[in-house]
């Protein structure tokens, strides 16, 4: 067995598009991830993705950014604003968990702080399954913890959400309910297509748990990295501090720049399903593993400029690459939530009133407008339990 590492930008880009390489990053997290979208391959992957993509149609983002998101964001921030401080990671979890629960299809009937905390605790445990391959602690202990969290999720959240949707779909099928009165979420789509694409209770429950995770975790960590980059840049470039708040296009570009430097996973992992000739010129077989080094590819000077390893919100647009590099993947597993998190890339005729910004830019703007700044007495802490180097806490002061 040979472990191949692909690190050049172009080679990484092309490798991720090869259809004879299957997902391999989450093999160790099988307890949660085995049959979920990101781990499927070929026709099975295509048909599941086709069903779920329906939730993320173009008008969904417009509706979400203007109708759903601002309300939840302000509601979640209000108590912290009154208190004059927050922890960015904890705040990110609270705001994103409620939002991802909505589009995943997880009801929170009580809407109480205790219920939010319970789902948050379950979600944090699911997070450990996704990073098991990169975990540095005792993996069996983590697996047992995930199993318990799955049972709790199924009993308390998933079954009631599923049963409610089944009833709604029955009413809809009998013509007693209009399409637009159905919840707009992934679970509804999976249940609606169950006859043609049966996936079973266990897998459906894990799929929804995985969606919660894929939507919330990545966004939260991306947000924390981005705010840290912005604060650090403002220290040395005070002339840009006002621009971050006043020019949304500049803020979105600055967020994309941080996304490039901090991909949610530093690598993508693949395994050949048959002998494959890689864009690097190497030949690999089913016994080999291919690791695509996104972190290095995203810092290639030939693509992003001589200062590619540094954060520079004024970086000129790279030629033949996205400003966020390969941070949202490429090819069949490319992120289904890209537009939701990062928005659209501005075009020459884009105008601020109708542009789609992405949740990370919208949260960052709300925080900056609320006077967010690092707490000088309590520096942030980086989580060293995985190789991802995410922030586990980031205390901030709020207010002017």
Buried b (16+ CB within 10 A) or exposed e, 207-244: bbbbbbbbbbbbbbbbbbbbbbbbbebbeeeeebeeeb
Which residues, 6+ apart, have CB-to-CB distance to 384 below 8 Å?
136
Whose structure tokens read 């490429």? 330
CB of residue 62 to ligand HEM, shortest distance in Å: 16
Question: Which tokens is 357 given?
Answer: 């910004």
Question: Which tokens is 32 given?
Answer: 């949660």
CB of 291 within 8 A of CB of 5? yes
Region from 165-173, 241-249, 323-331, 364-372 binding ligand HEM, contact rule CB under 6 A: 323-331
CB of residue 24 to ligand HEM, shortest distance in Å: 9
Rg (C-alpha) for the chain, rounded Å, is 21
Q: Which is closer to ligand HEM, CB of 26 or CB of 304?
A: 26
Q: Which is closer to ligand HEM, CB of 142 or CB of 208?
A: 208
Helix, strand, coil abundance in the chain, percent, nearest 5:
55, 10, 35
CB of 17 within 8 A of CB of 330? yes
Question: Residues 313, 337, 374, 395: which binds ligand HEM (CB under 6 A)?
Answer: 337
Question: Residues 129, 276, 336, 372: which binds ligand HEM (CB under 6 A)?
Answer: 336
Residues 357-386 that bind ligand HEM (CB under 6 A): 360
Question: Residues 125, 264, 267, 322: which binds ligand HEM (CB under 6 A)?
Answer: 264
Question: Residues 21, 32, 37, 89: which binds ligand HEM (CB under 6 A)?
Answer: 37
Question: Residues 21, 261, 335, 367: which binds ligand HEM (CB under 6 A)?
Answer: 335
Q: Give the CA distances from residue 52 to residues 93, 178, 207, in Å, rounded to whole numbers and listed in that order.
A: 23, 20, 11
Quick one: which of 13, 2, 25 has its CA closest to 279? 13
333 binds ligand HEM (CB under 6 A): yes
Question: Residues 89, 214, 227, 303: which binds ligand HEM (CB under 6 A)?
Answer: 214
218 binds ligand HEM (CB under 6 A): yes
Question: Residues 6, 11, 38, 106: which binds ligand HEM (CB under 6 A)?
Answer: 38
Region from 65-73, 126-134, 154-162, 327-335 binding ligand HEM, contact rule CB under 6 A: 327-335
Q: Which is closer to ligand HEM, CB of 16 or CB of 396?
A: 16
Q: Which residue is nearest to ligand HEM (CB)?
A: 337
Question: Residues 219, 267, 280, 356: which binds ligand HEM (CB under 6 A)?
Answer: 219
297 binds ligand HEM (CB under 6 A): no
Angle between helices 201-236 and 88-104 (to 10 degrees): 140
Q: Count Cβ atoms below 10 Å from residue 33 Cβ, excluding itself.
A: 26
Phi, psi of 185 (to 5 degrees): -150, 170
Q: Angle CA(344)–CA(348)–CA(349) in degrees, nearest 5? A: 85
Question: Residues 49, 124, 166, 373: which binds ligand HEM (CB under 6 A)?
Answer: 49
Question: Residues 29, 105, 127, 215: which binds ligand HEM (CB under 6 A)?
Answer: 215
Quick one: which of 282, 232, 235 has its CA closest to 261? 232
Strand partners, 22: 271
222 binds ligand HEM (CB under 6 A): yes
205 binds ligand HEM (CB under 6 A): no
Q: Which is closer to ligand HEM, CB of 303 or CB of 330?
A: 330
Whose structure tokens read 């099975």? 44
Burial of 348 (0-12, 13-18, 19+ CB in 10 A): exposed
- State CA 5 to chain mean position distance: 24
Over the window 55 to 94, marking each residue x when it contacts ligand HEM by CB under 6 A and - when it does not, the resulting string is: ----------------------------------------
By the criterion CB under 6 A, which residues form the site for ligand HEM? 23, 25, 37-38, 49, 214-215, 218-219, 222, 264, 268, 327-329, 333, 335-337, 340-341, 360
């Amino acid at each position: 067995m040979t472990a191949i590492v692909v690190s050049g930008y172009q080679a990484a880009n092309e490798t991720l598009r090869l259809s004879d390489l299957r997902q391999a990053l989450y093999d160790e997290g099988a307890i949660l991830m085995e049959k979920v979208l990101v781990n499927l391959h070929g026709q099975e992957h295509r048909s599941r993705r086709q069903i779920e993509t329906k939730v993320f149609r173009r008008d969904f983002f417009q509706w979400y950014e203007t109708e759903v998101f601002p309300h939840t964001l302000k509601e979640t921030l209000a108590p912290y604003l009154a208190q004059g401080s927050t922890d960015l990671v904890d705040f990110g979890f609270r705001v994103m968990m409620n939002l991802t629960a909505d589009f995943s299809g997880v009801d929170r009937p009580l809407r109480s702080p205790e219920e939010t905390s319970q789902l948050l605790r379950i979600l944090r445990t699911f997070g450990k399954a996704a990073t098991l391959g990169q975990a540095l602690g005792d993996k069996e202990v983590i697996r047992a913890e995930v199993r318990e969290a799955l049972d709790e999720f199924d009993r308390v959240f998933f079954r009631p959400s599923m049963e409610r949707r089944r009833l709604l779909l029955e009413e809809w099928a009998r013509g007693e309910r209009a399409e637009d009165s159905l919840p707009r979420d992934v679970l509804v789509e999976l249940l609606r297509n169950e006859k043609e694409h049966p996936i079973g209770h266990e897998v459906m429950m894990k799929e929804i748990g995985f969606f919660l995770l894929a939507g919330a975790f990545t966004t939260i960590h991306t947000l924390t990295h981005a705010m840290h980059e912005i604060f650090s840049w403002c220290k040395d470039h005070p002339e840009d501090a006002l621009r971050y708040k006043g020019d949304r296009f500049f803020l979105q570009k600055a967020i994309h720049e941080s996304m490039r430097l901090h991909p949610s996973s530093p690598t993508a992992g693949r395994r050949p399903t048959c002998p494959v000739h890689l864009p690097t010129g190497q030949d690999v077989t089913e016994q080999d593993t291919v690791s695509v080094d996104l972190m290095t590819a995203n810092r290639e000077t030939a693509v992003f400029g001589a200062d590619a390893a540094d954060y520079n919100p004024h970086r000129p647009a790279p030629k033949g690459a996205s400003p966020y590099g390969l941070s949202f993947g490429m090819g069949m597993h490319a992120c289904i939530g890209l537009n939701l998190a990062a928005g659209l890339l501005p075009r020459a005729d884009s105008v601020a009133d109708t542009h789609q910004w992405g949740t990370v830019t919208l949260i960052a703007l709300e925080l900056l407008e609320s006077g967010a700044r690092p707490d000088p007495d309590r520096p942030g802490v980086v989580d060293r339990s995985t190789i991802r180097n995410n922030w586990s806490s980031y205390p901030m002061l709020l207010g002017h």
